[in-house]
Amino acid sequence: MTSPADILQRLLADDPAAPRITCYDDTPGPTQGERIELSAKVLANWVSKAANALQEEWDAEPGTVVALALPPHWRTLCWALAVWSVGACVSLDDPSDADVVITDDPELLESAGIAGALVTLAGLARRAPVPVPSGAMDEAQELATYPDAFEAWAEPDGGDPALRAGGDDTAYAQVVPAPLEQRGARVHTATSDTGTFVAQCLSAYAAGGSVVLSRGAAADRAARLDAEAVTIDLGQ
């Protein structure tokens, strides 16, 4: 069985300095114009921090359901890989059915009444710009305090649920999609669907590739794809 955590370790072994996720934010608001790029090493560091938080704060392990109520974003990818690193299940369904909720929506955390973290999407944020619900983690302020090294308390079995979407569970043995045929592809996506985004990342990473994400409508996307040396454009 090849898990998402195994895929990340392969990227580290292949080339820790190579860019693996590049995120352009073209959405109106304070993050418009932002470009964030993470190498395999930096991506793995953030995944380790989030995985340590999941274990230490919420005792996440195989069988734990972690709702990701987030848009496609590099932080979303980090949290998804972190959930899989602890052997838990990423849920894209109703957060009220989860054990932990990771979201950028403080009202959702408040209304769900479930433990979790408030994510701030801005790359340089050092604390949430809005009040954090009582008992919730301010990811921007607290996540950096967790260690860069991670060791899972338990490993998932192949039949354990890894992804919940549309009411269906995908087991760990099937959660990594087929790798792209083009080895080392530089893949561009502008999908607004979180499940599609995560699957595209895993497929690219399984082939030793990297991902460029465009959030929102870019003024000149063709020039961006050329500058980023994109070899596969998945579009919307």
Contact 88, 64 (CB under 8 A): yes
Q: How far apart are CA 171 and CA 160, in angstroms?
A: 5
Query: What share of the chain in percent tops pLDDT 70?
Result: 100
Residue from 17, 81, 6 nearest 48 by CA: 81
Domain locations in the chain? 4-233
Whether 222 has a pLDDT exceeding 80, the answer reads yes
Q: How far apart are CA 39 and CA 19, in angstroms?
A: 4
What tens digit of pLDDT does each residue of 185-200 get? 999 999 999 999 999 9
Global pTM? 0.97
What tens digit of pLDDT does each residue of 45-89 get? 999 999 999 999 999 999 999 999 999 999 999 999 999 999 999
Contact 83, 92 (CB under 8 A): no
CATH architecture of the domain covering 4-233: 3-Layer(aba) Sandwich (3.40)
